[in-house]
Amino acid sequence: MENDNKMTRRQVVAGLGTTLAAVAAAPAFAVAGKAINPDDKSVKLSDPVTLHPKPPFKSQPQPWPGLQSKMDPVPDCGETSYKGSGRLMGRKALITGGDSGMGRAAAIAYAREGADVAINYFPTEEPDAREVIDLIKKEGRKAVAIPGDLRDEAFCKQLVQKALSELGGLDIIVNNAGRQQSINSITDVTTEEFDATMKTNIYAPFWIIREALPHLPPGSAIIGTTSEQAYDPSPDLYAYAQTKAATMNYVKSLAKQLGPKGIRVNGVAPGPVWTALQISGGAQPEKQQMFGSWTMLARPGQPAELASIYVQLAASDASFASGQVYGASGGVGQP
């Protein structure tokens, strides 16, 4: 009779499991019964196919390097949409090409995540850069504008030193600035053009990282902007595409070299994203007008759609991500 009043171990486990299942299901029942907190701030889903403008776009050539503020449509870099949550509070970032495109999107996102930001840009891009500086300051963060030509080694050294001085240190470097010129035949690529592309896209990150490295503490992050061109090069981007393959390579090489020092190195590989690169010689006119139409979303990406990737790769909670290349290409590119 005594055993009749005792529960077996199996009965206890089964009963506990039933109880836990009921507790876990309770929120679902509440949702089904419409018992939802009226202050709920749930994010509404957006259809990525209709979220941003689709081609055709009007022909709108500009001299290199172009101003995104004069583009139609103007690229969305998250000026009104990106919401921060303090993921980079107290961090100090240097971003090249921070006036427009992915660099601008990263700068805005970093500031809204709590970082102080220095941006570099070509002097003729001052109008776009001023907008970014104002947006960073609006978040109560320190903003430093450092115009100059990355093709010059001496300037790259000065860039790092000024960022260090003005921000009081550095722990994020985003090598984003790039030169892209569409030229159909290698026979038409001049030595001067080839040299300008290599110096902007490959030499500048080398000079910047080398100068900054002695000052980067463990926990720092270096991020390079590579491209789907590293994996699937277009015939008219002979010079540009090989620099993006080199960027992918230095990300993986430096990740191995700097990992023991506690410094992570990663890359972002955009597919067709609507930036000033396309309208300032980076795409043939007919390709620019239909830019991004070949993706699964039938449109180009917007820089704002990559901002969270730059944040993730810089954030401390991504501490095991190094030597990685994160892609965003609308379903058509690699990785």
Active site residue 82: no
Specify the pLDDT at position 12.
Answer: 38
Q: HSE-up of 112 (CA within 13 Å, CB side)? A: 21
Domain 68-328 architecture: 3-Layer(aba) Sandwich (3.40)
Specify the pLDDT at position 267.
Answer: 98
Candidate list 82, 110, 240, 326, residue with the active-site label: 240
Residue 290, classified by CB atoms within 10 Å of its CB into exposed (0-12), middle (13-18) or buried (19+), is middle
Specify the pLDDT at position 333.
Answer: 75
The C-alpha atoms of residue 13 and residue 24 are separated, in whole angstroms, by 16
Question: Are residues 295 and 69 in contact, defined by beta-carbon separation less than 8 angstroms?
Answer: no
Cis preceding linkage at 73, omega within 30: yes
Question: Are residues 294 and 322 in contact, defined by beta-carbon separation less than 8 angstroms?
Answer: no
Q: pLDDT by residue for the chain (335 residues), tens digit each?
A: 444 444 444 443 444 444 434 434 444 333 344 455 656 677 789 999 999 999 999 999 999 999 999 999 999 999 999 999 999 999 999 999 999 999 999 999 999 999 999 999 999 999 999 999 999 999 999 999 999 999 999 999 999 999 999 999 999 999 999 999 999 999 999 999 999 999 999 999 999 999 999 999 999 999 999 999 999 999 999 999 999 999 999 999 999 999 999 999 999 999 999 999 999 999 999 999 999 999 999 999 999 999 999 999 999 999 999 999 999 999 997 77
pTM of the model: 0.88
Cβ contacts of residue 229 below 8 Å, gap of 6+?
A: 237, 240, 241, 244, 245
